[in-house]
């Protein structure tokens, strides 16, 4: 160890280059965990958010009997509380409570699984709000028309409202993935060996903190830039107008771009 | 034969009463137009008939069944009482044809094949057959409204409610849509039309209802409304 830190060049860029050359397997390992946790967490979080949103958007009307009304009320309160809790506390604190809480009652959750669960729970809270906003942004007339031909509220959401809302929500969901790539760094608090954790241990090896963390920052930046480029392509692909449709002079120009 | 009977209907939004003691019977197979100034409660009355709005008090009988009761299956009811909206409200994520078949499949449980046949038939009738595979967002206002009429007809309803169907159209497209409406008038359907198109109301209605401040003020045949019973107020409204 002493020999290693002794042979590292004294200058800043030389130090970075040395660190990368000698430790890239560790950084790659960190990247692997960072991507695994953020991609799995975002995907699972989206599915969980879909489930929570169903409870979140319950609305009682004057025809409901007492039981139905109570059920809907409780659904809304529970789902709203969930969202408030996870959006209102730092993910680092949630991770610590979750991990040490289970350890305290004798359950040892594998660290990687714990990381994915925390990111999932967090993402679900944020995406529930995204989904709700997306649904609210759809013109009320769509729901009225759906109900007016006899579709149930559930069917109306499934066949009419949701397909329109999800299209508007893709950028926000992608954004959540980017945020997660960066925010997995806080999972180092429970010892998940993601990128930041690796950076910390490499820094400690050489006592060259700035160089090690600048390298980490550059890797995060590259990951995020690649991810945002891919997301931009996906959004573009989704917004390609219906291939069988050709604009005519009577077309609404806003609708075809 | 009467298909709708409204008894002592009151409707309030918060503390504002928008419909006051409405009593009304509608004959099956008839054309009724409801006219009156903006804010007179015409649209609200229409929306109570298919229960898009709940009533505050009173009853609405559809084929002698009180549809304001909790026991009514609203989805089944609405499949029989179609509605055409001022702002079209076509399903933006679906094609013209899919707009006309989704209700048939999901509500009436018709086969895909039968639903398509039925829908194409009505799309032909409203002159939108050639547009069947288009996304509805690429259509003009008049085209959208014609598709909306086909969507409603595809459910083979007993009653069709029109809520100011031409009010958000360009002047040149108004006649297009009114022509389509005249075309589909038959004894197979009961029409209740809220409109500001006075000429249309006079020409096609069996009966015209004039509403003001949430009440029915005049009720009669077009001849009675335009020529016989006209109060000063009604004459001023009709511009005669």
Where would I find the beta strands (DSSP E) of chain A? none
How is chain B split into domains, by residue range? 2-238
ipTM of the complex: 0.92
Please give the CATH superfamily to which domain B2-238 belongs: P-loop containing nucleotide triphosphate hydrolases (3.40.50.300)
Q: What pLDDT sits at residue B229?
A: 66
CATH number of the A2-240 domain: 1.10.3720.10
Quote the CA–CA distance of B209 and B31 in Å, as a whole number. 11
Selecting from A144, A155, A241 the residue whose C-beta is nearest the C-beta of B106 gives: A155
**Per-residue pLDDT tens over the stretch B217-229:** 999 999 998 888 6
Cβ contact, residue pair B54, A152, below 8 Å: no
> What proportion of chain B, given as a percentage, has pLDDT over 70?
99
Q: What pLDDT sits at residue A1?
A: 45
Selecting from B54, B82, B138 the residue whose C-beta is nearest the C-beta of A255 gives: B138
Q: What pLDDT sits at residue B77?
A: 94
> What proportion of chain A, given as a percentage, has pLDDT over 70?
91
Quote the CA–CA distance of B56 and B44 in Å, as a whole number. 12
For residue B130, list chain A residues with Cβ-Cβ distance below 8 A: none
Quote the CA–CA distance of A100 and B221 in Å, as a whole number. 80
For residue B62, list chain A residues with Cβ-Cβ distance below 8 A: none
Quote the CA–CA distance of A142 and B88 in Å, as a whole number. 9
Q: What pLDDT sits at residue A193?
A: 85
The side-by-side arrangement of strands in the sheet containing B57-62 is B16-27, B2-13, B57-62, B65-66
**Per-residue pLDDT tens over the stretch B24-78:** 999 999 999 999 999 899 999 999 999 999 999 999 999 999 999 888 899 999 9
Q: What pLDDT sits at residue B161?
A: 96
Cβ contact, residue pair B89, A150, below 8 Å: no
For residue B134, list chain A residues with Cβ-Cβ distance below 8 A: 242, 244-245
**Per-residue pLDDT tens over the stretch B109-157:** 999 999 999 999 999 999 999 999 999 999 999 999 999 999 999 999 9
For residue A65, list chain B residues with Cβ-Cβ distance below 8 A: 70
**Per-residue pLDDT tens over the stretch A125-134:** 999 999 999 9
Selecting from B52, B106, B148 the residue whose C-beta is nearest the C-beta of A147 gives: B52
Quote the CA–CA distance of A253 and B58 in Å, as a whole number. 47
How is chain A split into domains, by residue range? 2-240
Query: Is residue A252 over pLDDT 70?
Result: no
**Per-residue pLDDT tens over the stretch A162-207:** 999 988 888 899 999 999 999 999 898 888 888 898 888 888 888 8
């Amino acid at each position: 160890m002493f020999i290693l830190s002794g042979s590292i060049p004294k200058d800043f860029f030389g130090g970075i280059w040395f660190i990368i050359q000698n430790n890239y397997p560790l950084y790659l390992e960190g990247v692997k965990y960072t991507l695994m946790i953020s991609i799995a967490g975002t995907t699972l979080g989206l599915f969980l958010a879909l489930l929570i949103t169903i409870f979140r958007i319950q609305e009682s009307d004057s025809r409901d009997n007492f039981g139905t009304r109570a059920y809907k009320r409780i659904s809304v309160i529970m789902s709203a509380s969930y969202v408030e809790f996870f959006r209102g506390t730092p993910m680092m604190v949630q991770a610590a409570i979750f991990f040490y809480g289970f350890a305290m009652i004798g359950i040892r959750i594998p660290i990687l699984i714990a990381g994915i669960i925390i990111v999932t729970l967090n993402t679900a809270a944020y995406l529930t709000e995204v989904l709700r906003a997306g649904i609210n942004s759809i013109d009320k007339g769509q729901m009225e028309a759906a109900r007016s031909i006899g579709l149930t509220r559930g069917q109306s959401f499934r066949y009419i409202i949701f397909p329109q809302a999800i299209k508007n929500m893709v950028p926000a969901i992608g954004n959540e993935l980017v945020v997660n790539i960066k925010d997995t760094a806080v999972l180092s608090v429970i010892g998940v060996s993601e990128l930041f954790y690796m950076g910390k241990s490499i820094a400690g090896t050489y006592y060259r903190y700035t160089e090690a963390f600048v390298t980490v920052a550059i890797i995060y930046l590259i990951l995020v830039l690649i991810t945002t480029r891919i997301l931009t392509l996906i959004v573009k692909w989704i917004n390609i107008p219906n291939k069988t449709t050709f604009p005519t002079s009577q077309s609404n120009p806003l609708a075809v771009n | 034969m009467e298909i709708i009977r409204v008894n002592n209907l009151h409707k309030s939004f918060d503390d504002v009463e928008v419909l006051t003691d409405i009593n009304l019977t509608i004959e099956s197979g008839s054309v009724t137009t409801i006219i009156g100034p903006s804010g007179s409660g015409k649209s609200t009355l229409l929306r109570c008939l298919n229960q898009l709005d709940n009533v505050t008090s009173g009853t609405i009988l559809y084929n002698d069944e009180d549809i304001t009761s909790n026991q009514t299956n609203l989805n089944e009811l609405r499949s029989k009482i179609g509605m055409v909206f001022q702002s079209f409200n076509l399903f933006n994520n679906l094609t013209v044809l899919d707009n006309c078949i989704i209700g048939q499949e999901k509500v009436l449980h018709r086969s895909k094949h039968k639903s398509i046949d039925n829908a194409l038939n009505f799309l032909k009738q409203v002159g939108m057959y050639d547009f069947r595979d288009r996304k509805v967002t690429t259509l003009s206002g008049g085209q959208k409204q014609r598709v909306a009429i086909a969507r409603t007809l595809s459910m083979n309803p007993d009653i069709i409610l029109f809520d100011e169907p031409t009010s958000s159209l360009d002047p040149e497209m108004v006649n297009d849509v009114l022509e389509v409406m005249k075309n589909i008038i038959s004894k197979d359907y009961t029409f209740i039309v809220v409109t500001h198109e006075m000429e249309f109301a006079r020409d096609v209605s069996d009966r015209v209802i004039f509403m003001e401040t949430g009440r029915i003020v005049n009720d009669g045949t077009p001849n009675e409304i335009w020529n016989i019973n006209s109060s000063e107020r009604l004459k001023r409204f009709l511009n005669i």
